[in-house]
Amino acid sequence: MNILNQKFQTPHQTAPFSQISNDMFLPAFEKAIEKARQEIDDITENTSPATFENTIAALDYSGQELDRISSIFFNLNSAETNDEIQSIAQKVSPLLSEFSNDITLNAKLFDRVKRVYFQKLELKLTAEEEMLLTKKYKGFARNGANLNETDKSKLRAIDKKLSQLKLKFGENVLAETNAFEMLIEDEKDLSGLPDGAKEAAKQLAESKNKTGWLFTLDYPSYIPFMTYADNRALRQQLSSAFGSKGFKGNSYDNQSNVLEIAQLRYERANLLGYDTHAKFVLEERMAQTPEKVNTFLNNLLTKAKPAAKTEFERLQDFAKDKDGITQLEKWDSAYYSEKLKQELFQLDDEQLKPYFKLENVVNGVFTIANKLYDLNFEKVDNIDTYHEDVETYLVTNTKGEFIAVFYADFFPREGKRNGAWMTSFKPQYKLDGKDSRPHISIVCNFTKPTKSKPSLLTFNEVTTLFHEFGHALHGMLANTVYPGLSGTSVYWDFVELPSQVLENWCYEKEALELFAKHYETNEVIPFDLITKIKESATFNEGMQTLRQISFGLLDMSWHNANPENIKDVKAHEMQAFINTNLYPDVKENCMSTAFSHIFQGGYSSGYYSYKWAEVLDADAFEYFKQEGIFNKDVANKFKNYILSQGGTQNPMDLYIKFRGQEPQPEALLKRAGLIQ
């Protein structure tokens, strides 16, 4: 029997990766879908009257085997993919989409859900049960259960097509990333680059039997080159390759995929009775409406734009004085920003990196989690992984009770998409009196150790690790009854609060001294460097804010109107960026064709949520700072009302329970240096 369809006989029932072969997935999915269908039939064929337990709870606990296989497979498709896995994904995605529609369009099932929903006032439900009931009912209504049969068929066709298009979009971006290489054979073209970046590039070239230094579009290769390389023409070459992903008119071109995804989402929303995809999405967000999101983004734009323009002019003048550059281009941004930052603060990443050895930063975030939330992390080697780079940890509390399994996957490789993310292989839930604990993973793309140096992180990578670990805490500390409300199963504009708030500890002396130690001397990071980190934290913040706002506005431009008249992806994008542009346009570049967050991930009509959550996190951290960044009372409130509650209550209610008030936007503007 297929191991994927059995209860895993492993420590804590972790995924037995080494025993799984790719050819097992498709039959395992088919069998699990069959089993999940049977579980749904058991609910609909039940002759007893519909109750919360026999309908709503039963529905939430159904399909666990399928969910488990899905999480294993799609995590591999992101972190360790290959042609075979991508081919399976193209076959599996329509099956899952069809099965999902079979549930939401199942009239008998919806009838039972409705019966419970419309008697909810008499049922004396807990807050969590009431939230689950509302979520299940809306899940049906928002996915077509109230449609007639003809429209249900249309919805099925749209969902099936969308699942395939989103996969294709992501595959194209990955293929474009992997297809580009810049081989440098003349050492003088490496001028300005730190030794670590040169060594990594040489090692990469050697691994591919090439002579010289090899640079790619993977972040640990791309970012140091764009930040430090003196050769402007090569920076332009790399920047243009990065900016033109999915926009070259070749077999990996994403323009038609973008147009079709936007159009299908619009048609889907209309079918369900919504004017636009954004209206459909935002109904289930803290922000609630597109108008509110646009007001939020435009208010921020008003505050950030004057600062951004001033910062840009300062950068332009600096580049002109330094190198006679009369027009600052996109490929100059990171380079001159870094040079100016060094001049203003006598601080650069190369100074800081020796204090941020990866292992020390990991131990630091573990120590902080221990001081705040009483968690212990023990590295173990008896848990199977999908790649030798992946580390595994057993997470317990101070009483020695098992809390979670934690996976950490830190380095780039060919089958792994760019960026950083948190995910889970198994959610937390309670069933039959037993608390089933979660398996949580973070995936990053940090510089690998070289022959002479360990993995040393830039400060930006340190904050990335803390960010993803904040999401991981949200998953690990989950304490809910139902899997559908557990961990990060919250509104998307609330999900970034735990991740973004944890980044704040990276700037605090009390926290930095726990882990920022020189990898050779073990000397704690000097106080003057800590001061400089804090002082430089708001450097070019206006420009950074403007950039994030521009992505949010681009997202809304695709999803808050009828896209049928958009024929030219690039022209549409130019219009969306009209109020946020600082740099001249590069005609070969296009953001949308590689904007995976909104066209492949779950951020469509939701990119604003990064900034929205920053308002929450700045306000939340203000509370920590008032009482002490390791204050147990505040930490317990954050754990009890935010980290453990998942989606069991309205997020604003949870936030007020933690903070005692609604979040104040001034905290963010003050932290960003945009107001005094």
Q: Is 495 helix (H, G, I), strand (E, B) or coil?
A: coil
Which residue in 642, 632, 552, 605 sits closest to 276, CA to CA? 605
- Is there a contact between 515 and 367 (Cβ–Cβ < 8 Å)? yes
Q: Where are the alpha helices (DSSP H) in 324-425?
A: 333-345, 349-352, 358-373
Bridge partners of 376, per DSSP, are: 396
As a whole number of angstroms, the distance between CA 436 and CA 404 comes to: 9
594's tokens: 């590689």
As a whole number of angstroms, the distance between CA 296 and CA 298 comes to: 6
The separation between CA 10 and the C-alpha centre of its own chain, rounded to angstroms, equals: 29
- Is there a contact between 114 and 138 (Cβ–Cβ < 8 Å)? no
As a whole number of angstroms, the distance between CA 396 and CA 101 comes to: 39
As a whole number of angstroms, the distance between CA 428 and CA 475 comes to: 8
The separation between CA 48 and the C-alpha centre of its own chain, rounded to angstroms, equals: 43
Distances (CA, A) of 195 to 145, 247, 452, 456, 520: 60, 33, 10, 12, 16
- Is there a contact between 156 and 101 (Cβ–Cβ < 8 Å)? yes
> CB atoms < 10 A from the CB of 12, how many?
15
Which residue in 519, 480, 490, 451 sits closest to 655, CA to CA? 490
Which residue in 340, 341, 313, 324 sits closest to 583, CA to CA? 313
Which residue in 189, 240, 256 sits closest to 566, CA to CA? 256
321's tokens: 């004085």
What number of CA atoms fall less than 13 Å from residue 431's CA on the CB side? 15
Cα maximum dimension of the chain: 81
Q: What is the dihedral of CA 621, 625, 629, 635, to 10 degrees?
A: -60
Positions annotated as catalytic residues are 468
Bridge partners of 442, per DSSP, are: 408, 422
As a whole number of angstroms, the distance between CA 552 and CA 573 comes to: 12
The separation between CA 323 and the C-alpha centre of its own chain, rounded to angstroms, equals: 38
Tell me the angle at which helices 496-503 and 459-476 cross, rounded to the nearest 10 degrees.
Answer: 140
- Is there a contact between 442 and 409 (Cβ–Cβ < 8 Å)? yes
Q: Where are the alpha helices (DSSP H) in 273-332?
A: 277-282, 290-323
As a whole number of angstroms, the distance between CA 487 and CA 437 comes to: 11
DSSP string, 554-579: HHHHHHSS-GGG---HHHHHHHHTTT
- Is there a contact between 11 and 382 (Cβ–Cβ < 8 Å)? yes
User: ∠ at Cα 641 (637, 646), nearest 5°?
Assistant: 145
As a whole number of angstroms, the distance between CA 674 and CA 545 comes to: 10
> Which residue type is seen at 307?
A
As a whole number of angstroms, the distance between CA 241 and CA 329 comes to: 15
DSSP string, 421-465: EEEEEE--EEETTEEEPPEEEEE--PPPP-SS---B--HHHHHHH
